[in-house]
Chains A and B, each alone.
Chain A
């Protein structure tokens, strides 16, 4: 079951140069398709997470000379959801309170009924009263996903959110995320070519020269793990990443 596409999800363009202590980290022109998943890969330290932090308006420890714009011309701030490698759940709060934390942080009244529906959707309704310490890694990431859904933002930034999970849970989480984030503009920073091949409408490989597009499979995401085009894309992408790393 997929939700109808969120037509308000805009495309994003980041064009410019990022430097740290007068040393250029990257000079890139990156466009995220509206209501599409863009997977950003590349060697460690090349600036993938910096791209994500720039779009999020977070501190990067360097300077950015360029522009970050939405295709609808409206500000990006206030329209973002964010999910990181660690679940970023607050250990002292219950799963339910973690899901509604955004409203509380903005001094708004939380909508617990909607939170219960979302916890149901990610399969955690029975665990709503538990603290994160009582959950498995996969369950914590599902709670984090419910928190992102609760915010209901048209743009979602995912910084390696599934990388710490075991292979089976990761595949489950990819499918769940693809379903519940359908219709949103998603930037997924990942090290995993298989993940990019399954989830990406668009795949970008980042290097010191910038972000270069890599041909994604022609079938729409989410793709079956064992599908020939997924496997072909995955293996070719892996070979390319090794070349980029060696260069």
Chain B
């Protein structure tokens, strides 16, 4: 049923796209037809795959590092009231700075290689992961914490055995957001300065008026994002099931 829905949506999307090409009569270097993009996808598959692999590595490295950093920060904020008082306003303030505006600076600091794109990805997912996990850690049923206190629990054990398992569904929510944001971070980093990656390929294709190749790269990027979101969605459901004491088949 779900697969049929997805295929139907895909069919409708392609149909609308083709209809738009016919109705507007736009030249192929402005709006290529789906067939032309499919041709570009097939003929340039090697170069697209090579650059997609680079972007995927940046996204995954950024996701892992950003998640670890976000989880560590949320735990620190939970363990220390002083850290919470000092760091929460700073975290909120950093969200007022558009991360995209930092891309040129990051390229200057970390170079044209993969590092600047990974840092960009880390920065873009850090806040949603930290915020969601911290929220879960601090919203534990008061009764559970009262009981732990009466039992003479150590603070670290309370955190690890009660707060962290309770907060796993919230972490899952943060990761789902991160899965959507991470590709944006990597591609923006590539736009500002790179010699590899789908963002670089899109800019290159655009500069050479190969709009079909640009669209093909864009479609591959969208597919990567959907795959990543789906994989994180499965992980997120597992986290919720564990936290609720259910076993998923």
Chain A interfacial positions (CB closer than 8 Å to B): 53, 56-58, 78, 80-82, 84, 86, 88, 90-93, 101-102, 104-107, 131-134, 151
Measured CB to CB, the closest approach of chain B to A29, in angstroms, equals: 24
A131: B residues at CB distance < 8 A = 245-247
Binds A, one of B25-33, B111-119, B150-158, B204-212: B150-158
Question: Does B143 have its Cβ within 8 Å of any Cβ on chain A?
Answer: yes
Interface residues on B, range: 20 to 34
Q: Contact: A133 with B151, CB < 8 Å?
A: no
Q: Contact: B157 with A82, CB < 8 Å?
A: no
A82: B residues at CB distance < 8 A = 146-147, 150
Question: Does B148 have its Cβ within 8 Å of any Cβ on chain A?
Answer: yes
Instruction: Show 16 A/B contacts (Cβ-Cβ < 8 Å), sorted by A.
Output: A56-B146, A57-B150, A58-B150, A80-B150, A82-B147, A86-B143, A88-B144, A90-B144, A91-B243, A92-B244, A102-B152, A105-B151, A106-B152, A106-B157, A131-B246, A133-B245
Q: Contact: B143 with A88, CB < 8 Å?
A: yes
Measured CB to CB, the closest approach of chain B to A185, in angstroms, equals: 15
Inter-chain CA distance A80–B148, complex, in Å, is: 12
Cβ contact of A101, chosen from B149, B151, B154, B245, cutoff 8 A = B151
Beta-carbon nearest neighbor of A81 in chain B: B150
- Residue interface mask B203-247, A partner, CB < 8 A = 1: 000000000000000000000000000000000000000111111
Q: Contact: B152 with A92, CB < 8 Å?
A: no
Q: Contact: B245 with A105, CB < 8 Å?
A: no
Beta-carbon nearest neighbor of B164 in chain A: A92
Measured CB to CB, the closest approach of chain A to B165, in angstroms, equals: 5
Q: Contact: B165 with A90, CB < 8 Å?
A: yes
Inter-chain CA distance A90–B149, complex, in Å, is: 15
Given contacts A58-B149, A132-B245, contact A90 B162 (CB under 8 A): yes
Beta-carbon nearest neighbor of A132 in chain B: B245
Question: Does B161 have its Cβ within 8 Å of any Cβ on chain A?
Answer: yes
Cβ contact of A105, chosen from B141, B143, B152, B246, cutoff 8 A = B152
Inter-chain CA distance A84–B148, complex, in Å, is: 13
Q: Contact: B147 with A107, CB < 8 Å?
A: no
Beta-carbon nearest neighbor of B162 in chain A: A90
A104: B residues at CB distance < 8 A = 157, 161
Inter-chain CA distance A101–B246, complex, in Å, is: 19
Q: Contact: A58 with B243, CB < 8 Å?
A: no
Q: Contact: B144 with A105, CB < 8 Å?
A: no
A105: B residues at CB distance < 8 A = 148, 151-154, 157-158, 161-162
Cβ contact of B150, chosen from A56, A90, A133, A134, cutoff 8 A = A56
Inter-chain CA distance A57–B144, complex, in Å, is: 15
Measured CB to CB, the closest approach of chain A to B116, in angstroms, equals: 39
